Amino acid sequence: MNAEHRDDLDMTDRPIGVFDSGIGGLTVVAALRRTLPAEKILYLGDTARVPYGGKSPETVTRYSKEISDLLVEEGAKMIVAACNTASALAVPSLALSYPVPFIGVIEPGAAAAVLATRNGKIGVIATRATIASDAYGKAIRSLSANIEVTAIACPLLVPLIEEGLFDDEITRTMLRRYLEPLLRAGIDTLVLGCTHYPLLKGVIGRICGKKISLVDSAENCALAVRALISPSGNIAQDGNARLDVMLTDSSEGFLRIAEKSLNLTIDSLNIRKVGK
Ligand code: DGL
């Protein structure tokens, strides 16, 4: 983070740059819309290279860097990694090397989970790469050392969501299977540790029951963005809001499903090449 750029006079008007491996990060965009309604948002979904969830830290870091460079070139006033996998694997090493604030979804989600738990037992569901990194476990234990974290990789959920099967028997069956060990462990709080998962919040809530609090990393990330930009006075004024979407390959089908379920309006859509 570099004070020189943050003090630019036109900061308020510049977009918040948001990226994800694909379309799932639009859940963060929807949360940003609710939290900071006047902001311009420039979103890049790396649909040519999705999913990130099974890739190595080196690859996810390289992809995240290429995208962040592009967002900065396009004038982003801050970068939001709206992808748990990129947040877990790439944000810690990249965040300090950019001239604008750079934030991921892990810390805000971990902090919200620590606040929500009453019995000290937190469950995390996420991609294989996020679970293997233990990013949530580390972030949660750094806030409260005695909390028990049970984490389960759910590799089949992203493809089901991308097919638009939000409340389908096959999705419910997979969820019951993935969630069973967490319910057995007695968790009272569940972190939806993938930005696709808020699209399954309804069905996850019904399987978990009312006694388990669901922590939506998208919503908590949006609150953290507001906390980060409001003291510096970089919040946009009314009337400037727009959402410009760039994808690295065409993915119209799921984009339109997500746009509708998240109640978003996309002002422009372009295909952009990123990396070599
Ligand atoms: N949206 C990504 C995340 O939050 C998951 C999709 C992927 O595997 O790329 O981790």
C-alpha closest to that of 127 among 52, 50, 44: 52
Alpha helices in the chain (DSSP H): 3-6, 26-35, 57-73, 84-89, 91-94, 106-116, 128-133, 135-143, 157-162, 169-184, 201-208, 217-229, 252-261
**Residues 6 or more apart whose Cβ sits within 8 Å of residue 198:** 27, 192, 216, 218, 219
- For residues 28 and 218, the answer to whether their CB atoms sit within 8 Å is yes
Give the pLDDT confidence of 167-220 residue by residue, as tens digits.
Answer: 899 999 999 999 999 999 999 999 999 999 999 999 999 999 999 999 998 889
- Omega before 51 within 30 of 0, i.e. cis: yes
> Is residue 261 pLDDT above 90, yes or no?
no
**Residues 6 or more apart whose Cβ sits within 8 Å of residue 213:** 116, 117, 188, 189, 190
Ligand 1 pocket: which of 44, 63, 85 to mutate (most atoms within 8 A of CB): 85
The maximal CA–CA distance of the chain, rounded, in angstroms, is: 54
How far apart (Å, rounded) are the C-alpha atoms in residues 243 and 232? 22
Ligand 1 pocket: which of 196, 199, 249 to mutate (most atoms within 8 A of CB): 196
Ligand 1 pocket: which of 83, 152, 220 to mutate (most atoms within 8 A of CB): 83
Nearest CA to ligand 1 atom 7: 51
C-alpha closest to that of 201 among 215, 189, 187: 215
256-260 average pLDDT score: 85
Residue type, 45: G
Q: Residue 6: what pLDDT?
A: 43
Question: What is the number of the ligand 1 atom nearest to the C-alpha of 126?
Answer: 10
Ligand 1 first shell, C-beta below 6 A: 20-22, 24, 50-53, 83-85, 127, 130, 158, 194-196
Nearest CA to ligand 1 atom 6: 51
Q: Residue 10: what pLDDT?
A: 58
Nearest CA to ligand 1 atom 2: 83
Q: Which domains does the chain have, with CATH numbers?
A: 3-104+220-271 (3.40.50.1860), 106-217 (3.40.50.1860)
How far apart (Å, rounded) are the C-alpha atoms in residues 24 and 90? 17
Question: What is the number of the ligand 1 atom nearest to the C-alpha of 217?
Answer: 4
The three-state secondary structure class of 200 is helix
Give the pLDDT confidence of 95-123 residue by residue, as tens digits.
Answer: 999 999 999 999 999 999 999 999 999 99
* Number of residues written out for the chain: 276
By annotation, the residues acting in catalysis are: 83, 194
Q: Residue 2: what pLDDT?
A: 39
How many helices (H) does the chain have, and how many strands (E)?
13, 10
Give the pLDDT confidence of 143-168 residue by residue, as tens digits.
Answer: 999 999 999 999 999 999 988 899 89
Q: Two tokens at 264?
A: 């978003």
